[in-house]
Amino acid sequence: MRITDARVVVCSPGRNYVTLIIETDEGLVGIGDATLNGREMAVVAYLREHVCPLLVGRDARRIEDIWQYLYKGAYWRRGPVTMTAIAAVDVALWDLKGKAADMPVYQLLGGAARDGVMVYTHASGEDLAALHRDVQENLDLGYRAVRVQASIPGLASTYGVPSAGDAVYEPASGNRPQEDRWDTAAYLDFAAEMISSVREEFGYGFHLLHDVHHRLSPIEAAHLGKALEPYRMFWIEDPTPAEDQSAFRTIRQHTTTPLAVGEVFNSIWDCQHLITERLIDYIRTSVSHAGGITHLRRIFALADLYGVRSGSHGAGDLSPASFAAALHVDMSIPNFGVQEYMGHRSPAEEVFDVSYSVVDGHAHPGDAPGIGVTFDEEAAARHPYEPRYLPINRRLDGTVHDW
């Protein structure tokens, strides 16, 4: 099965997505997500200029060989742009392999290790009452794991709290990112109050998660973890800037609140010490930012040795092709923990036709051959790319703060 064409399509059905399409001489088509939120066009250029020309003529069945060829062969290894590009190729090749075998990808990965994949959903609110309403709605929908975020009193905007009815929370600000203000003291006071209010209102019959978005110092994160211990969190996510793996030693020495990190990681080397030193409980690397199905499985296999479970990133800026690929991995690994599910904003469904489903808080990839997502290029052309950025975060005195 030879690759005859590899092309990249950028579209914005609700938000920006970059999709790699690989065609073969057998008439099969595979797709992979190459979206890197706010830096989309860097991956487009990487693929178009440096990767697609190298793919044409290759045997599409040789997934591992193509992975190594692109990773080791480039000399410049790792990094979000490189690893997102490689991930798109890898997922498209797994999609093709599934179609060639007439099987869903999870069957090729060893088959179902569970009946379905527990997902966590997002609940948020401008205040605690609004947050509680959203938690209730999600529990009513059958979700068993809920991530809670609410606006921090005194700050004009809080990342992770979308305006009512919206499924994205990067403001549409054209060619420049919005600038938000941040106050760690206000956040720390409020976070404990928010979490305790949710447990008081709804009890302990579901999993409770919270995302710190990398904003604390190690000792501040340790303080938060300790303060939240009575509320039996499923995890706190991204407590400190993720590139400093040693920060987690400090946090770990102080608290038993489970820790999750990894959505900004792009290779197994970012995870190595966190996993082998048992400094975290969940590794959140995503299929589309960490080298695809091939590399993500390697990360999760390492994690399994050390009792660390998966908790893949699944925000709406990862396209349906990425979410589907994640579900195939989630279905088949022994150490699955949870899968993030934010859903996709309309009209994404005009462009991506999906075979996965989410019922009663559990997702299943479906049994269509490959990853089970098709991409409509004509529909995509109706939704052209719009530059859009994640917000910048400044402290009250104007200093740029960590994500």
Binding partner selected for residue 220 from ligand GCO, Mg ion, none, CB under the kind-specific 5 to 8 Å limit: none
241 DSSP assignment? -
Burial class (CB in 10 A: 0-12, 13-18, 19+), 200: exposed
Q: Where are the alpha helices (DSSP H) in 205-289?
A: 218-228, 247-254, 268-276
Q: How many residues bind Mg ion (CB under 5 A)?
A: 1
Backbone torsions φ then ψ of 2, nearest 5 degrees: -95, 145
Closest CA relative to residue 189, chosen from 165, 223, 230: 223
Out of 211, 270, 281, 330, the only residue in the binding site for ligand GCO (CB under 6 A) is 211
Which partner in ligand GCO, Mg ion, none is near 215 (CB below 5 to 8 A by kind)? none
Which residue, 281 or 340, is less far from ligand GCO as judged by CB? 340
Bridge-based pairing state of the strands 373-375 and 352-354? antiparallel
| 340 sits near Mg ion (criterion: CB under 5 A) | no
Residue ranges in 325-364 that form contacts with ligand GCO under rule CB under 6 A: 340
Nearer to Mg ion, 211 or 281 (CB): 211
Per rule CB under 6 A, count of chain residues that contact ligand GCO: 9
Q: Determine, following the binding rule CB under 6 A, whether residue 37 of this chain makes contact with ligand GCO.
A: yes
Instruction: Answer with the entry of Mg ion, ligand GCO, none that 134 interacts with (C-beta below 5 to 8 A by kind).
Output: none
CB of 264 to ligand GCO, least distance (A): 8
Rounded to a whole number of angstroms, the minimum distance from the CB of residue 306 to Mg ion is 22
Closest CA to 376 of 351, 341, 403: 351
Q: By CB under 5 A, is residue 211 in contact with Mg ion?
A: yes
Any contact of residue 124 with ligand GCO (CB under 6 A)?
no
What is the rounded distance in angstroms from the CA atom of residue 55 to the CA atom of residue 47?
Answer: 10
* C-alpha to C-alpha distance for 185 and 81, rounded to whole angstroms: 34
**Residue 251 Rama label (left phi>0; alpha psi -120 to 50; beta):** alpha
Site for ligand GCO in 250-279 (CB under 6 A): 263
How far apart, in whole angstroms, are the C-alpha atoms of residue 240 and residue 248? 8
Catalytic residues, which ones? 159, 213
The CB-of-401 to Mg ion minimum distance in angstroms stands at: 16
Binding partner of 37, given ligand GCO, Mg ion, none, CB within 5-8 angstroms per partner class: ligand GCO
Site string for ligand GCO, 285-314 (x = CB under 6 A): ----------------------------x-
Strand order in the sheet with 3-11: 3-11, 17-24, 29-33
The only residue of 225, 317, 331, 388 in contact with ligand GCO, by rule CB under 6 A: 317
95 with 371: CB under 8 angstroms? yes
- Give residues in contact with Mg ion (CB under 5 A): 211
- Give residues in contact with ligand GCO (CB under 6 A): 37, 211, 213, 263, 313, 315, 317, 340, 390
